[in-house]
Each structure stands twice: as C-alpha cells, then as structure tokens.
Amino acid sequence: ITPASMTIVFLGITIGTIMTMSSSNWLMAWIGLELNMLAILPIISKPKTTRASEATTKYFLTQAIASAMMLLSSTINVWQTGSWSILELKNKFSTTIMALSLMMKMGAAPIHFWLPEVLQGTTLQTALLITTWQKIAPVTLMYMISNNIQPTILVSAGILSMIVGGLGGINQTQLRKMMAYSSINNLGWTITIMAFSPNMALMNIFTYIIMTTPIFLMMTNMSTKTLQNLSTTWTTSMTMTLSIALLMLSTSGLPPFTGFMPKMLILNELISQKLTTLATLAI
C-alpha cells in the first residue's frame, strides 16, 4: 500500500468516527460507521496471508450485519415517531435492536465471537486500532441513547461480557487473543454501568484505551506475540517487560494501579443503586 493510499485510509477511519460522534441524525451516524468500516478493511488485509483475508472477511460480515440492524432499528423508529433524531429513539423494539447492533460493533458478549479471531489474524498495530479507536463511535452512540435502553438488556450483556472476558482469557497463550478477551471484559464493565451512570461508562472506556495503547505499542516494539515470547524478553529488555506486566495488572483492575479507579467507582455506583448482588457478581 502506497503512502498516499494509507493517508486516504486513515483519513476515512478518522472522519468516519468523528462524523458518527458529532451527528444527531441516525442516517449520518450510519454513514460515518460505514465509512469507518470500509476504510479499515485494507489495513486488516494488508498482510498477504490467509489468516488476514479470513480476519477481513469476518470483520466485514459482522460489521455489515450490525449496520443492517442499525438501519432496521432506526427505520422502525421513524415509522413510529417520524423523526431520524438519535435522541428520539423511543420505540422499545427499536432500542433493543439498536443496543444489540452497537454491542456487535464493539464486540461485547453475546455477539463477541468475531473479535478474538479478527485480532489473531491481524498485526499488532491493527489489533490496537480495533480494540481502541474502533470502539469510540459505537460507545458514543450507546451513550446518547442510554436513557432509552432497558437497564435489564445492558446489565445482562455486561455481566455476560465480564464472565466471557474473564474465562476466555485464562487458557490463552496468544497475546492478541488475551487482549481481545480483556477488551470484552472491559466492555462488560462499561455496558453494565451505562444503564446507571453513562458518564462513568465513558470514563471507564477511555481509561482502558489509555492503558491498552502502550501495551500494544511495547509488544510491537519487542515483536512479542505469545506468552513464551514475553517470558524470553526479560533478558533483553527488562524495563519494557516489567512495564507490560504492570500495565496488564492495571488493565485487570488490581489496586493500587490506575485501572482499579474506574472499577471501584463503578462498584460504588452499583451499590448506591441498591444493586449489591450485581456488584458482587462483577467482582
């Protein structure tokens, strides 16, 4: 890929996300997400391998289905309310379909199956892009409609994402798959609290992005793709290996690291909302 075409691709990804975040109309938000999706496909398929082609196809199909669900939801809502406005999503059926489509775009359970597979088939830089930047637009849309989504749906998907993310990462030796399950787990926390405190959900996802970015960058720098690689880098780059270990502990929410702060605030909010059982499950 030439530098000029890469510039166009990255411009498409950036403009698509910004368009979705700044739009108040479902059609404009959908166009932004489509532009974003079409722009990232050449980046995923850049390595000329079978795995990369497979990852590109899986990513395209899941995102296309999610986009179709978004259009269906917004169209049904227009029939009911006569408005394309994002804040006017009042129909319960439309809201449920929209929530599921956004979860599918993010890679939250129970529609998470594509995320570990896609990440495993791409480079570390692309995996970083999918787990961070690509989540901003769907999370923003979910934030905008969070008042209209039934809390039961968000909480159920959130708890399921926490369980899937936690258990899925246990038996992994591939670092990209581990990071994918870490992403699913973190989305679980974000979606659960979205029902009660959307601002806290935004803080949680952005804290996660800030912590994940250096992990991927250091793994790229050291060319580590498996746990075995990571265990042998101790002799060559002790500082970087230690930094990755500490950042991973922070991402998992261990006190006294930064990652513990949003989780503590989320648990505090759940308990103050008389949801002690839910907080216990989250722990």
- The domain containing residue 145 runs over which residues? 3-282
End-to-end CA distance of the chain: 45
Confidence of residue 223 (pLDDT cuts 50, 70, 90): confident
Distances (CA, A) of 248 to 95, 112, 152: 35, 21, 30
Percentage of the residues of the chain whose pLDDT score is greater than 70: 97
Angstrom distance (rounded) from CA 56 to CA 46: 9
When divided into structural domains, the chain yields a total of 1
Cα torsion for 96, 99, 101, 105, to the nearest 10°?
A: -170
- For 2: left if phi > 0, alpha if psi spans -120 to 50, otherwise beta; the answer is beta
Question: Hey, which residues does 85 pair with through a beta bridge?
Answer: 25
Angstrom distance (rounded) from CA 159 to CA 175: 23
Is the pLDDT reported for residue 283 higher than 70? no
Closest CA to 78 of 86, 18, 220, 124: 86
Is the pLDDT reported for residue 279 higher than 70? no
Distances (CA, A) of 137 to 14, 22, 183: 10, 10, 16
Confidence of residue 247 (pLDDT cuts 50, 70, 90): very high
Angstrom distance (rounded) from CA 65 to CA 68: 5
Closest CA to 126 of 63, 41, 210, 60: 41
Q: What are the tens digits of pLDDT across the range 33-71?
A: 999 999 999 999 999 899 999 999 999 999 999 999 999
User: What is the C-alpha R_g of the chain?
Assistant: 19
pLDDT for 54 equals: 96
Is the pLDDT reported for residue 281 higher than 80? no
Q: What are the tens digits of pLDDT across the range 134-181?
A: 999 999 999 999 999 999 999 999 999 999 999 999 888 999 999 999
Is the pLDDT reported for residue 14 higher than 80? yes
